[in-house]
Amino acid sequence: MERKRARDHGIRIGRFEPGPGNAITDVSGVRVGQRTVVRGDDVRTGVTAVFPTESMPWHERVYAGTHILNGYGELIGINQINEWGLLSTPVLLTSSLLIGFVYDAAVKWMNLELPEHQADDGIEMPVVTECDDSWLNDVLSQPIGEQDVFDALNAATGGTVEEGSVGAGTGMACFDFKGGIGTASRVLPPENGGYTVGALVQTNFGDREDLRIDGVPVGAEFPDDVPDWSAEGSCIVVVATDAPMLPHQVRRLAVRAGLGLARTGSMAGNGSGEQMIAFSTANRIPKVTADGTVDVRGLLDGSSYDSPAVFSPLFAATVEAVEESVVNALFAAMTTVGRNGNTLHALPIDRTLEILDRHGRLFA
């Protein structure tokens, strides 16, 4: 059966409608680039880059926030974001033990893109995060080169985002099936502001028996082909929105991303790393202004029956987009054989659809 996205099969997760591409790139200006690295029998890895704007992000910084649901993982750049609330570089996703190399390569790429950039003008520290792909990938061979990182960054574009076993998702697992990169979006109705929320995930988490798709306990019906090795895993979530949110507000979207993972069956286990980063493209923050101030817009904090409902719908849209992103990663990923013959099998789509149909969860 052709591997289509979840929604193309009639799966309708949540109550809000997706954007035109049902991807993080539905948030205007957001771009995604990927580089897949597959060599021989034991290299299955890659790099995924998410740009917050259509320009180079150090020219137009955006407000951002992070949330670490469980911290057995790494997110380089978190201190700067948490201190200033600013994202000024692409967000790069890769393999755990390659995170330092990707950081160094990203610095070189930025220097090539901005040759006039001088240390005394202020440096930009790349944001890089990771999941462990060592079940399929020989990470100790350092299989990624500088050009692979450059290629992911240079390939960044809006529009369609490739999903499944691509980029940073090449060697990833999800609920003991083959996982990878997934994305989805939601658009709020006009009465809730009409804002767009998009998510992109790098899935590498979950026990088979816990997998739920649109609330249906699908994983329990697939006891076969569970790999001998099964770790609690990790998941990276990048959330983007065009809602005018300040740093403390957009951090609240990062927190809600964890609820989207929970709806698929994640419990953020003790040995897992769930790293969330969210940003808003509404305010573009320059590096310099004449008087050292900047005028920005933000949503009205607090709860009032006299103000339009915005925060809660944004939270719900985030949860829905993250949940569907995970499912899209599962639906797109293909069975992959890697290091030492280790195998991760793809989610059996036809059987999954039969289960969902039996529970009344497929729609025309």
Model pLDDT for residues 41-84, shown as the tens digit of each residue: 999 999 999 999 999 888 899 999 999 999 999 999 999 999 99
Is 234 marked active-site? yes
Specify if 110 maps to a domain.
Answer: yes
| Per-residue buried b or exposed e for 185-197, using 16+ beta carbons within 10 Å of the residue's own CB | bbbbeeebbebbb
Top pLDDT among 1 and 254 is at 254
Among 111-115, 219-223, 327-331, which stretch is predicted with the lowest mean pLDDT?
Answer: 111-115
Residue 122: the pLDDT is 61
The pLDDT score that the predictor gives to residue 1 is: 47
The pLDDT, as a whole number, for residue 346 is 96
Helix axes 99-113, 146-154, angle to 10 degrees: 60
Specify the pLDDT at position 116.
58
* Under 8 Å between Cβ of 174 and 185: no
Q: Look up the pTM and report it.
A: 0.96
How much is the mean pLDDT over the chain? 94
How high is the pLDDT of residue 230? 65
Give catalytic status of residue 185 as yes or no. no
Domains held by the chain: number: 1
Choosing from 124, 232, 274, 323, the catalytic residue is: 274
Determine, yes or no, domain membership for 296.
Answer: no
- CATH number, domain with residue 152: 3.60.70.12
Burial (CB count within 10 angstroms: exposed 0-12, middle 13-18, buried 19+), residue 40: exposed
Tens digit of pLDDT for each residue in 103-145? 999 999 998 887 655 544 567 899 999 999 999 999 999 999 9
For the cut 90, the answer to whether the pLDDT of residue 182 exceeds it is yes
For residue 130, is it within any domain? Answer: yes
The closest alpha carbon to 273, from 101, 102, 142, 96, belongs to 96
Is 135 or 230 the better-scoring residue by pLDDT? 135
pLDDT, mean of residues 79-98: 96
Range of the domain at 55: 16-285+307-356
3-state secondary structure 97-155: HHHHHHHHHHHHHHHHHCCCCCHHHCCCCCEEEEECCCCCCCHHHCCCCHHHHHHHHHC
As a whole-number percent, the residues of the chain with pLDDT over 70 amount to: 96
Answer yes or no: is 5 within a domain.
no
**Residue 206 within any structural domain of the chain:** yes
Nearest to residue 257, comparing CAs of 204, 200, 302, 313?
A: 200
Q: Give the position of tokens 């897949």.
A: 36
Residue of 134, 234, 266, 325 marked active site: 234
Has 162 been annotated as catalytic?
Answer: no
| 10 assigned to some structural domain | no
Report pLDDT for 115.
Answer: 65
Distance of CA 293 to the CA centre of its chain: 32
CB of 156 closer than 8 Å to CB of 115: no
Summarised one tens digit per residue, pLDDT across range 243-259 is: 999 999 999 999 999 99
- Specify the higher pLDDT residue, 229 or 60: 60
The answer on pLDDT for 354 being more than 90 is: yes
Q: Which of 88, 95, 266, 272 is catalytic?
A: 272
- In a domain, residue 297? The reply is no
- Per-residue confidence (pLDDT) for residue 59, from 0 to 100: 86
Q: What is the pLDDT, as a whole number, of residue 121?
A: 57
Q: How confident is the model at residue 308 (pLDDT cuts 50, 70, 90)?
A: confident
Give domain status of residue 8, yes or no: no
pLDDT digits (tens, 9 = 90+) for 231-287: 678 999 999 999 999 999 999 999 999 999 999 999 999 989 999 999 999 999 998
Check residue 120 and give its pLDDT: 47
